[in-house]
Structure 1
Amino acid sequence: MHEVEVAGILVDAGGGRGGGTAVAATWAQYAMWQAFQELAPDHHLFNIAWSQAVPPGTSRAAAERAGASLVVACESLRTRLIPSGAGLDQVLDATGCIHTSISRCTTDDVANHVEALQAEMRGHAFDCATQWPIRIGWVMVGEDVARVVFTLAHTAVDGWAAGLVSEAFANLLAGHERVERPGTLQPREVAAYEQSEQALRRSRQACAHASSVLADAPERVFRDEPRPVDGPAFREAVLRSRALGRAATHLGAETGVGSAVVLLAGFAEALAAESGTSQLLIMATAGNRTLPGTQDAVCAMARETLLGIDCGDPDFSRLLPAVAQASLRAYRNGHYDKREMDRAVAEAEAARGTQIDRTVWYNDRRRPRPVSPSTAPTARSLAADASRTRLTWPAAYDRRLNLTLALDVLDTVGDLRLSMIADTRVVPAATMSRMLYRLEATIVSAALSLGLH
């Protein structure tokens, strides 16, 4: 058993902002907080956790200074969320404490202690009204920090912002200030913008888009009734494929739609084939980082957006531009007030006289990278890469909220990683496997059809 010490880092923002004044929460804070409430009693499932390396010889004192500086610079990490009437307020603190955990081990046992500490920290929910949405853990060998473990509340950050937190901590630990683009927004500025006529107009447009998509959406994507299963209902399958990454990049460049559209189209094609539904409704994640001042903003911005795709044409080359247009419309309509969106969805369902299934999810979580010229893959190299594709089943879960099937796209070293979680009462493991391999085969085949030698 791993013994864990509990400590804390006192933080004083000094000349920074804070002082407990309540202002309206951002749209994303409210949406995340509402989802957090719906997860009861499993609130901890809404935590975001990761670990990262630190330079050899890093002292605990240096790591704590970097942690304190991080929270001073990133106001979302010292912001509490407090219900107010029918709404939600955000309160920015000038002083407070970061709760920390320390796990001590030998050099040979660092990985085990990191895994145990991350599980321990992630397994406890945050009290959004009284606690800061960040915990930090130190895995220590002797007097040095060997690795740092972060757990953040999803109400404070999305996946993009979590990456910014990781980068900022590394820079602060190295003695550099956090560098961000001029005009970068903090949560209070985001909330102020969302009261503007421009933002309210965007929200109305997003609601109108959702109503239009729902008018043509299938009542259910997967039509089969749930079947009983032994053990946890939700399983995760992970496909690691170098061939898929190379083929998607090449196909996206040659067709001009980009690899993101190629992968989304591959998912839609596989989903249509396995569900038997050609008219699809997919809940895609819009990053909302194109708004002014949000590229470096450490706060939650990502939201779900409704994506309607017609896969009636079996020609994948014609599906690509259709998916490009549909995704552009969806991602342009990802910034909205969830209370208004909930009303729009309810009205659309009332007009059709049925509840519409919104439990199929897609999230391309790759971080944008500079585009550099690359050599086109050959048919032989793609075949060799495809022979090394691996499918694993790393996790199972008793519960997932509003989910029949979800696909996340992630980068790993040298490979593309597809993580699929599905309710196996509706989507059996064999179907999950077929979908992932079909997605890879479809995109590799489309790349080969361009005339690779």
Structure 2
Amino acid sequence: MERHETELVLVEFSAGTSGVADLTWGQEQVCLWMENSAPHIEHMNLDVLIECETGARTTLDDVREALRVVIERHESLRTRLNVEKDGGYRQFVCASGRVPVQVHHCAAFEASEAVLEELRRLPFTVFEWPLRVAVVTVSGIVSGVALCLSHVATDGWGIEVIAGDIRELLAAAPEERDVLSARPPRPLVQPREHAAAQRRAGGRSEARAEAFWTAQLSRFPNDRFPFPLRTPESPRFPKITMRSRTAARALAEAASRHGTTVNAVLTGALAVLISAISELEDVTFRLFCANRTSVESRNSVGTFFQTIPVALTVADLPFRDIAHAAWQASLRAYRVGERDPRRLDRVTESVASVRGVDLDLECFLNIHGYGGQEESETLTAQGTAHELTAFDDDGGIEEWEPGKFYVDVWRVSGCLEVTLSADTALFSRDRLTGFLTCLEDILLRAAAGDAPRPKDLVRDAEALAGLRRREGLVLVDGCWVDPAEVQALLTQALSPRSAQVFLEPGATGSPRLTAYLVPAHAQRPPGPPEVHRLLLAALRGRRFVMAPHRYVVCAAGPDGPATQEEWRRYDVLAEGPGRESPARHDPDTTRT
């Protein structure tokens, strides 16, 4: 950014509300994410650049007044977090204070993007307000207002609410501003009220949520992509964006042809793509639920969204069935989309223990603002001439969870916009671009046929060519497992005198893992539950491992690799699954 003059001004606010409250569940979820990702959390910052019309001749005082009104209107913008002794959080809403605003006197509006980048490059701390503001002026007139917010204060929807409020105030005549300043023009819900309402819910609603989570998580794999690791690129997690008007029209046409919604078609198409990449019949991901179901919530600034586990069967089903199943699964997820995230974490740990795997939770789907049937019909009626699809490399993130596969989807002015952020330790940038091209082809073929199958939808896909599954992997309970790695885990976690892992036929058709071991201390042999617990503790960070379904603890064993028949000749000290019995599920959570 070119050098220019800057000055610091303050926005003083004095509101009529203050207090201390619990966090909303959306805020709790963001805090948990930040704890897990610290110190690399700056990518969670949210930002927006508000351009001011040249003819409006907006002044710095106009902007300061608009900011004052918005800060006083929305409590989350004047809230600080406090970490309690037990590690939990409380939010403190302040009635008054001063927010610093950096003013940049620039030669041209183009400098605004650099100013915004400056605001978002550092993570927020508990010692600052949850918003940073910069104003760009050109020749003394405000040309842009840059805002960066903590994700604890708001989500992406809330950012648009803030920007809309500021635009409304700046565009209003002086007498209208007085009215807008006096009271909010639309009904709101503040985070403190929202958190209190969430904690009043419970009972059957919570039981239904836990049953749904359990049923979905029971189909999540240990690692969904069965490929050897490669040297990652930099940044390791690039953001590749596809913009396609052709895909937008195909999406609308496919929704009409298959009798469902555009969201369901898009979710189904992504499921087909991920199934083809992973070679898994079940596709699992965490779905973003906006949780803005009331008028008040849609007008408010706050963190409402949460992510809910979803599982879909792709197999060789007709696409119509996949899309309808996607609609049903999404609807059920939305019904339980607003719940205590710590409770979901406990359910996740319980399911992982029963299944004997460290669940891969790093696939995300976030579908933003889609139109209804009227917009779909408009898109379908538009021209049929092929338009060039554009791809952009929008930078990326260097530090994130390994194996991340994160999909953001928009439709803007009839143009489908999909951003894929994924781990280049698994896939090259070029292949990520190819995956998006494959998604476009899936939508086009889904729009053209009445009952296409997944193999038809990904036929001849260049992005899938050359993907080679790592040697030694077998599919066990929907998970890619390397028995040799399981045996190595057993040896490292327990230090037995000898150990060996075998694959056995299972009652459901999927193979099962049985471990034979001779403990280091035969006089105090561990039982199956203790063996299972020790293996679970050692799973994290390992890709293709699963705790065996059955443990056989022997007094002695072969000196080297042997057959299962040879192991059976030795005295058994203890044997069993070591697992808890899986919980029964509510009929509302049947397989999707």
Ranked by relative contact order (alpha carbons within 8 Å, sequence separation 6 or more), the top structure is 1
1:39 is displaced (CA, Å) by: 2.7
1:6 is displaced (CA, Å) by: 4.8
1:277 is displaced (CA, Å) by: 1.5
Contact conserved, 2:284 with 2:310, CA < 8 A, in 1? yes
1:124 is displaced (CA, Å) by: 2.1
1:231 is displaced (CA, Å) by: 3.1
Q: 2:30 aligned to 29, 32, 35, which one?
A: 32
Q: Distance in 2 between matches of 1:369 and 1:136?
A: 35
Q: Deviations over 1:33-72 (max 9, x none)?
A: 2222333222322210120212330001001100110100
Q: Distance in 1 between matches of 2:267 and 2:359?
A: 21
Q: Secondary structure at the match of 2:11?
A: strand
The aligned runs of 1:42-441 (5 Å cut-off) are: 42-56=40-54, 57-86=57-86, 87-106=88-107, 109-111=108-110, 113-128=111-126, 130-175=127-172, 176=177, 177=180, 181-182=186-187, 184-196=188-200, 198-199=201-202, 201-290=204-293, 293-366=296-369, 368=371, 371-372=374-375, 374-375=377-378, 377=380, 381-382=383-384, 384-385=386-387, 388-401=388-401, 404-441=404-441
Long gaps (5+) in structure 2: 452-592
Q: Deviations over 1:63-107 (max 9, x none)?
A: 11001101001111111111123321110001112221222222x
Q: 1:28 to 1:6 in 2, by over 3 A?
A: farther
Contact conserved, 1:288 with 1:335, CA < 8 A, in 2? yes
Q: Secondary structure at the match of 2:297?
A: coil
The alignment of Structure 1 onto Structure 2 pairs a total of residues equal to 439
Contact conserved, 1:71 with 1:77, CA < 8 A, in 2? yes
Q: 1:299 to 1:381 in 2, by over 3 A?
A: same
TM-score of the aligned structures, taking structure 1 as reference length: 0.90
Amino acid at match of 1:65: E
Amino acid at match of 2:336: N
1:365 is displaced (CA, Å) by: 1.8
Q: Distance in 1 between matches of 2:402 and 2:165?
A: 33
Q: Distance in 2 between matches of 1:230 and 1:159?
A: 28
Contact conserved, 1:287 with 1:301, CA < 8 A, in 2? yes
Q: Distance in 2 between matches of 1:98 and 1:85?
A: 28
Q: 1:23 to 1:328 in 2, by over 3 A?
A: same
Q: Distance in 2 between matches of 1:179 and 1:42?
A: 36
Structure index of larger Rg:
2
Q: 1:147 to 1:169 in 2, by over 3 A?
A: same
TM-score of the aligned structures, taking structure 2 as reference length: 0.70
Q: Distance in 2 between matches of 1:383 and 1:275?
A: 34
Runs of 4 or more above 6 Å deviation = none
Contact conserved, 2:283 with 2:313, CA < 8 A, in 1? yes
Contact conserved, 1:261 with 1:320, CA < 8 A, in 2? yes
Q: Secondary structure at the match of 1:29?
A: helix
Q: Distance in 2 between matches of 1:253 and 1:181?
A: 35
Q: 1:430 to 1:272 in 2, by over 3 A?
A: farther
Q: Deviations over 1:137-185 (max 9, x none)?
A: 1111021100111100000111111111111111122235275654x31
Q: Distance in 2 between matches of 1:158 and 1:261?
A: 23
- Report % sequence identity: 25
Amino acid at match of 1:384: H
